[in-house]
Chains A and B, each alone.
Chain A
């Protein structure tokens, strides 16, 4: 049976503001269902609550209202079944690349599992870093670190991998090559992928479905299936169609926001 189904049921997240009596609604009654093995991207302007949503799915934050159900169970905390890759890679600087990758298996008691080690070796090779096992993260470039972070998360064999703008801080060339690595990893590991990004092209290039969110309060304003075969061509006519459509939606959300401010 396929695993990695995420159901977001009526989730709202309301934050306290430090110096005001008012509260801030980051997420407003979000309903979303992500199928096992699906690659979904969530795009939106900054402040639309997309990162908060991902953190709630991961179990790092609790929703104020509603619940997230993962494979039939309500999410109450973090689990190794839902891996997370951060924008700033969050590798442990005191461990070598190899020890970083094996951190998960050590935590879950699977360090003596030969298949685990083989998987880690295979994934590291897949991202082209097999020669950097004994290197410390300090000595890696941003792109290399992010590849290691991907391998670290995937070595734990999560049913769903949550990606919080993992390529946001990288230059365009590195980003494109890691995007291809990401598709490659997804195809080989067959897990659910949820990617947060503000790069519309990235969302279309990678995912089967793009969710567009509007800011303040965070709401889903579009749920779009990308019906293009992999590998995708960024200058393809259909690709451009999807891009324009999403940009229009984002622009609309933006205008509405401005109107609110004018009143």
Chain B
């Protein structure tokens, strides 16, 4: 009844609205929902306990680095439980994610048991995560160097490709004459993955780094050009006309109307270009360049050190995820005007 008097007042809080929407739930349902918030912490703690105190095969010791990370994860879940009591909105979000985090904890436990504790999945092909982490820590100076080298190569190629792609795409969308010359190039080169030219480029290039950067740039150039070109071509006519009648000159229309209006399209190209850059980078490093994470993976494979190889693979995944989320953040910031449409 209290809830209905709230409605008469007109303004009700988000919490009250959610209570109203959930009024058909029984109290048992509500308790169950509350409990799900605790599951990730419980299962993470079980995993930590299992890793530290269950005996492993052949006297292999639990990894302190791994235990420390799992401990941090447990702390993270504990903080979320506290947050869920402070804010109602946070509670709903945390409850939504808890199933995922629980499953992750269970999978980590299962893998740890299958490798370190029972040896069902055997070395050298299936090292437990703790062992991979220990290997990464012991070889960290080499790995940092590789990360640095990979990022340097990727960004050299990426930014080169993006700047030339933006210039050629915007100009080709803007001017019919430039379009005439760029269109055939994109038609021919666009369909072929740039890694195809790798042998030629590596043979002709004066430095392996330069050759690989060129290939990455070429791969990035294509989607960026196409997306910028179509972005510019699809700018609605009334934006041009509005700017013209407001007294804007040609250059002003290009920089203040055409480019911002085609930004959503351009970002599609930038994202596509990023995944091509990641792909080309790994292939180039595995095939020719004698540095970077791709090279490290191949090198350790050659020595049969699968643990270190997995370490580098994990690192490469983390690097690519970080780079892509950085791009996502920039995109969100630049395109914030698209939010909150009515």
Contact = CB atoms under 8 A, between A and B. Distances in A.
A binds B: yes
13 contacts: A60-B244, A84-B245, A86-B241, A93-B338, A95-B260, A104-B247, A107-B256, A136-B339, A138-B338, A138-B342, A139-B341, A141-B342, A156-B246
Interface of A: 58-60, 78-80, 82-84, 86, 88, 90-95, 103-104, 106-108, 136-141, 152-153, 156
Contacts of A104: 246-247
A144 B83 CA distance: 40
B342 A84 contact: no
B239 A92 contact: yes
B246 A140 contact: no
Contacts of A86: 238, 241-242
A224 B76 CA distance: 77
Contact of A94 (B245, B252, B263): B263
B241 A60 contact: yes
Query: Considering the complex of A and B, which 6 residue pairs feature the smallest CB-CB distances, nearest first?
Result: A80-B247, A107-B248, A104-B246, A84-B245, A90-B242, A78-B244
Contacts of A59: 245
Given A88-B238, A141-B342, A60 B246 contact: no
B243 interface: yes
A91 B257 CA distance: 11
Most buried by A among B256, B338, B339, B340: B256
Interface in B225-276: 238-239, 241-249, 252, 256-257, 260-261, 263
A60 B249 contact: no
A260 B203 CA distance: 76
B340 A139 contact: yes
B337 A94 contact: yes
A108 B244 CA distance: 11
B247 A107 contact: yes
B81 to A, nearest CB: 36
A184 to B, nearest CB: 22
A107 B245 contact: no
Contacts of B244: 60, 78
Contacts of B337: 93-95, 136-138
A255 to B, nearest CB: 35
B248 A83 contact: no
Given A88-B238, A103-B256, A78 B341 contact: no
A18 to B, nearest CB: 18
Contacts of A136: 336-337, 339-340
A46 to B, nearest CB: 18
B260 A84 contact: no
A146 to B, nearest CB: 13
Contacts of B241: 60, 78, 84, 86, 90
A156 B342 contact: no
Interface string B274-311: 00000000000000000000000000000000000000
